[in-house]
């Protein structure tokens, strides 16, 4: 029987996406694991793979269509034994004029609540777990037990997004379980259209920019921010960095100041655990590991890949991970589990000469550290006026979860670690 291909949820929070590009056309034969389309989410462009064999009989959503709801039927595949598949193979190619005609609009997506529950994938002696090759590979690499995952593909088959959702959900599950069922936040009022006679062009917002606008608006409206700033002397850290880079040169590793600040923030969160938290209504999540989200600017906006367990990693490992994650972030190749989560964030605008700024918290995280430029300033050294390299660092804290005194303690510890940086390599 014909198989409906539906807009997949490529991350646990995805509600809609843009069908950026079809990689197949009507009449093409596909096999499990073949790439069908490129789908743009709010953070990346990801590939959508086939989970069954058959012939593409209909593409229902045109390339470039925005706002395609998860669950919307986007194409139809006829199985190899279907009459429609044979007819499609035998039928002559449609004239170009017809092929170019816009496809019919997709049917409205069914509400999530009424969608049928996915079929659990169970294994027995005589029944193999149904999973796509790519899903199996990702599960093997990440140590995920496929028998514990429910498949959303045809006939309960496990596909890539199911495995990724399981990986991402593992860290999100405690919060979901402990958070009370609160009423949904009111949607912000629509922004009025701007009428102007100034020469201009209308620029279409990317999904990422829409998400940034929505989440930052919600953060400023719902999270009471408290800002704490310290001036930090960098001379000792810069000297240590130069010495470490000289020894790491043969390994192809070059530490940045930001790599060392990520480590300093991670250790500070472990030393001041009251700041390594998330507010969850009537409860708080207290993290025992410091996963640091690092703000990276990309052509379509901002994304925050995560250095997991940064408190226990060496500076060289942190540097390598940040470089690799930032490179793939700019190419739109990050997987959801690489940018969703984190216990705190760091945003460094010092390289652009910004002296000081206050960053917006990225919920459900409880804090973000904003790093300004290191610059030569008059500074008291050993009770005497001298010239030192100094930067300003500002912590933004969720005042619902973190008291000012605890935030101040974290900033104090961070300052001490940076000014006496041997603690970063101990």
Rounded Cα distance between 154 and 149, Å, is 14
**327-346: b (≥16 Cβ within 10 Å) or e:** ebbeebebbbbbbbbbbbbb
343 CB contacts (<8 Å, ≥6 apart)? 269, 276, 278, 287, 289, 290, 291, 292, 365, 366
Q: Within its chain, how far is the Cα of 111 from the centroid? A: 25
Q: Classify 319 as helix, strand or coil.
A: helix
Given 200, 225, 337, 399, which residue is catalytic? 399
Q: Does residue 399 carry a catalytic annotation?
A: yes
Q: Classify 301 as helix, strand or coil.
A: strand
For the chain, state the CA radius of gyration: 25
Residue of 226, 254, 230 lying closest to 417 (CA atoms): 230
In this structure, what token pair is assigned to residue 393?
């660092």
User: What residue has token string 């950026």?
Assistant: 20
- The catalytic site residues sit at 399
């Amino acid at each position: 029987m014909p198989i409906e291909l539906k807009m997949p949820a490529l991350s646990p929070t995805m509600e809609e996406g843009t069908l950026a590009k079809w990689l197949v056309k009507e009449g093409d034969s596909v096999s499990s694991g073949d790439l069908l389309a490129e789908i743009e989410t709010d953070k990346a462009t990801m590939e959508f793979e086939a989970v069954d064999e058959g012939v593409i009989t209909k593409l229902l959503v045109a390339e470039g269509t925005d706002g395609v709801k998860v669950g919307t039927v986007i194409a139809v595949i006829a199985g190899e034994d279907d009459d429609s598949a044979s007819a499609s193979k035998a039928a002559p190619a449609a004239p170009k004029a017809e092929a170019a005609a816009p496809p019919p609009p997709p049917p409205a997506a069914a509400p999530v609540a009424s969608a049928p529950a996915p079929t659990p994938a169970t294994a027995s002696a005589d029944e193999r777990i149904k999973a796509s090759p790519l899903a199996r590979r990702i599960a093997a690499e990440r140590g995920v037990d496929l028998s514990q995952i429910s498949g959303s593909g045809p006939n309960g088959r496990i596909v890539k997004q199911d495995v990724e959702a399981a990986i991402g959900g593992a860290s999100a599950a405690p919060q979901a379980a402990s958070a009370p069922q609160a009423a949904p936040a009111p949607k912000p009022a629509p922004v009025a259209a701007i009428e102007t006679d100034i020469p201009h062009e209308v620029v279409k917002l990317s999904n990422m920019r829409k998400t940034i606008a929505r989440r930052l608006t919600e953060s400023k409206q719902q999270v009471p921010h408290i800002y704490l700033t310290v001036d930090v002397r960098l001379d000792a850290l810069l000297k240590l960095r130069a010495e470490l880079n000289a020894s790491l040169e043969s390994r192809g590793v070059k530490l940045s100041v930001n790599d060392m600040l990520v480590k300093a923030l991670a250790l500070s969160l472990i030393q001041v655990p009251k700041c390594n938290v998330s507010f969850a209504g009537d409860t708080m999540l207290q993290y025992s590991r410091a996963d640091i989200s690092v703000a990276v600017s990309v052509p379509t906006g901002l994304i925050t890949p995560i250095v997991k367990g940064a408190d226990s990693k060496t500076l060289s490992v942190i540097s390598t991970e940040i470089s690799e994650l930032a490179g793939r972030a700019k190419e739109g190749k990050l997987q959801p589990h690489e940018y969703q989560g984190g216990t705190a964030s760091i945003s460094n605008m010092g390289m652009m000469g910004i002296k000081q700024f206050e960053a917006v918290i990225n919920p459900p995280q409880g804090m973000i550290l904003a790093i300004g430029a290191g610059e030569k300033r008059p500074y008291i050294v050993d009770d005497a006026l001298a010239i030192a390299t100094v930067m300003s660092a500002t912590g933004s804290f969720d005042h619902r979860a973190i008291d000012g005194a605890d935030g101040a303690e974290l900033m104090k510890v961070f300052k001490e670690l940076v000014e006496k940086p041997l603690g970063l390599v101990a």
